[in-house]
Amino acid sequence: MTTLPAPRLGAPLSGRELDVLAGIARGLPYAHIGAELGLVADTVKTHAQRLRAKLGARDNAHAVAFGFRLGLLGTAPAEGRAA
């Protein structure tokens, strides 16, 4: 089992970055996250890039893992239970 490196939260995530992270955690594509937030997909992509940089995450899955570890996303749903 591989352990994740400690998150490097260099700067706090903005409200929009947290919204985007939550959408990514729900498995939504950028276009759907954008539609929910009133943004275009490219803007969502930019927010995702910035939040990954702030967290020191290598990809979206890594960012979501850090989000849960840092308490930014609440708790993960129990396995086998709908979110």
Task: Report yes or no on 52 lying in a domain.
Answer: yes
Asked, for residue 5, whether it belongs to a domain, the answer is no
Q: Is residue 6 part of a domain?
A: no
Where residue 77 falls among pLDDT bands split at 50, 70, 90? low
Encode pLDDT of 54-76 as tens digits.
999 999 999 999 999 999 998 65
Is the Cβ–Cβ distance between 45 and 6 less than 8 Å? no
Residue 62 lies in a domain: yes
CATH number at residue 32: 1.10.10.10
> Residue 8: inside a domain, yes or no?
no
Whether 9 is covered by a domain: the verdict is no
Q: How far apart are CA 4 and CA 13, in angstroms?
A: 20
pTM of the model: 0.80
Residues 13-42 have pLDDT tens digits of 999 999 999 999 999 999 999 999 999 999
Structurally, the chain folds into a number of domains equal to 1
Is the separation of the CB atoms in 54 and 10 below 8 Å? yes
In a domain, 40, yes or no: yes
Domain residues for the domain of 53 are 15-69
**Residue 38: inside a domain:** yes
